A and B are shown apart, each in its own frame.
Chain A
């Protein structure tokens, strides 16, 4: 894709998301808040999965770092500012990710997936069993936070989420997305793709494969933590289900649904999943079955995900147009 087209698509997407609170009922605005959390987490997830070729099946752990970090920083220590919470939680998550990453990035493929799953479940059982520290299955409360120093006291939580916080999340998504765009298009990103395509060759060329994988792992942890703070803040609760392995599976699902080979795929996947799940839940109590079937169809028939299908469609269209004008 040319840069101009990417900028155009990004601006169109941002404009569409910015218009939602104006045209859509509050229900949908509220529904989209977790979408932002997932989208940011997935941008980071895809640095690992799409760009470095490492499938993490324990990525929900980082969402947990974010949500529980917010609960501790804001709840226990009384820091009631979203930015300060992020400033505390994100570096903490990155530091925690370093030892985990060192162990995990020595493996690839299925082994990497199982190791990350093991670490995720380790953290889950810690959250679940150490009741006095983490609140066990009832979780920890995440109190209301101010954004950019304003606490919008006149708005109730729902209005706050659907109004200022929505745009705040949109801004966060744009900023984190732009940073990730820079990352994947830097020499660092090129290194990662080289490692994905042929790790041995990359090593032969002098790339410190483990070090680069570790860096990608730690960056994706930071994105996961930001997403986790948003998710935890929206519900007002950090609970252990956030970290359970099926939730990690859900993250992978979203990434593949949107298309992991494209930069915007995970964002599209998070949006599609959020809307699809909401629709299905209102239609049937067996929504998991339908989601599973959708996942199976995507995996079998459309490995490029939604973005892949769109690209095929538009690529086809352009070819036909070119032929008809020729």
Chain B
């Protein structure tokens, strides 16, 4: 039984991180209709910057207890990259979606070398800084408190995003823009501003996810392109543009990965893509997506 709970919690932890990235992807796709391949690069950027930020802050006397909020702050600070990149993407909004996809692919290539230039080719990590928060040990399982905090943060983001989209005025405007851009514009919505805000929000979700992962895993050059395919699996399973889809998809992918790693390691990624294909065969638009006529 104890193994089961450990795997379960490991899977949920991974799902929490995946959800944050996928939520950013969904938000941007839902409103701007752009599939952002660079979401993985934002995630990697968050991780690298998180290492630098915490190292610098600690040397300036940051209490190690504040590492968790500090990482969130570092993720949010990276929101500054949102508006300029959105400005770049603005040049191709009117274009075919394949060109939009390609432009984000260009960003992936460029980011990879930016990381190499600033942080070098070797992985960077914060060692075991997260152990400061201790570990919960029960006869059934043992889990670092830090992991639970990340899971809690992801749940908070999910609830917060849901409330923001459903209850606030800005959220309503956002959904209206996603629904019908031209109509929203005709009603006086400043779509340019909405796009800039949405893209920045999407980027912050990615960078924060990357920052939060860094106490438990190293920041490396490969993490960007590796995460993209998992985040893609999440949104395809869940349905493009759906927040519920991101949540359920992240749980499915996170848990499948965790369990197949233990049961049949060869099938780790294979299992995820088999699910992707099965879902697409049965429900081409994903579990929560609308049909893509």
Residues of B within 8 A of A126 (CB): 270
Q: How far is the CA of A60 from the CA of B78 in the complex (A)?
A: 33
Per-residue CB proximity of B78-104 to A under 8 Å, as 1/0? 000000000010011001011101110
A314 on the interface (CB 8 Å rule)? no
Per-residue CB proximity of B99-121 to A under 8 Å, as 1/0? 10111011111111110110000
B1 on the interface (CB 8 Å rule)? no
Say yes or no: A129 contacts B277, CB within 8 Å: no
Q: How far is the CA of A253 from the CA of B101 in the complex (A)?
A: 11
- Chain B residue nearest to A131 in the complex (CB): B266
Q: How far is the CA of A300 from the CA of B107 in the complex (A)?
A: 13
Residues of A within 8 A of B265 (CB): 129
Interface residues on B, range: 35 or more
Say yes or no: B229 contacts A256, CB within 8 Å: no
Residues of A within 8 A of B225 (CB): 244-246
Partner-contacting stretch, out of A1-9, A153-161, A282-290: A282-290
- Chain A residue nearest to B109 in the complex (CB): A292
Given B88, B95, B109, which contacts A289 in the complex, CB threshold below 8 Å? B109
Per-residue CB proximity of A7-23 to B under 8 Å, as 1/0? 00000000000000000
B274 on the interface (CB 8 Å rule)? yes
Q: How far is the CA of A296 from the CA of B101 in the complex (A)?
A: 11
Per-residue CB proximity of A95-135 to B under 8 Å, as 1/0? 00000000100110111011101110110111011100000
Shortest beta-carbon distance from B172 to chain A in Å = 26
Task: Indicate the member of A107, A122, A287 with the most B CB atoms within 10 Å.
Answer: A122
Q: How far is the CA of A99 from the CA of B106 in the complex (A)?
A: 31
Residues of B within 8 A of A118 (CB): 232-233, 236, 273, 276-277, 280
Shortest beta-carbon distance from A276 to chain B in Å = 13
Q: How far is the CA of A224 from the CA of B95 in the complex (A)?
A: 27
Shortest beta-carbon distance from B149 to chain A in Å = 31
Using A293-B110, A300-B103 as known contacts, say yes or no to A117 and B232 having CB atoms under 8 A apart.
Answer: yes
Say yes or no: B109 contacts A107, CB within 8 Å: no
Say yes or no: A103 contacts B281, CB within 8 Å: yes
Residues of A within 8 A of B99 (CB): 256, 299, 303
A65 on the interface (CB 8 Å rule)? no
* Chain A 242-299 interface residues, beta-carbon cutoff 8 Å to B: 244-246, 249, 252-253, 256, 285-289, 291-293, 295-296, 299
Given A128, A256, A288, which contacts B109 in the complex, CB threshold below 8 Å? A288
Shortest beta-carbon distance from A131 to chain B in Å = 8
Shortest beta-carbon distance from A88 to chain B in Å = 26
Say yes or no: A125 contacts B240, CB within 8 Å: no
B269 on the interface (CB 8 Å rule)? yes
* Chain B 214-231 interface residues, beta-carbon cutoff 8 Å to A: 225, 228-229
A142 on the interface (CB 8 Å rule)? no
Say yes or no: B102 contacts A103, CB within 8 Å: no
Residues of B within 8 A of A110 (CB): 35, 97, 101, 240
| CB-defined A-B contacts under 8 Å, sample of 11 | A55-B97, A118-B273, A125-B269, A129-B265, A130-B266, A245-B228, A246-B225, A288-B109, A289-B112, A293-B106, A303-B99
Interfacial residues, chain B to chain A (CB-CB below 8 A): 35, 37, 88, 91-92, 95, 97-99, 101-103, 105-114, 116-117, 225, 228-229, 232-233, 236, 240, 265-270, 273-274, 276-277, 280-281, 284, 292
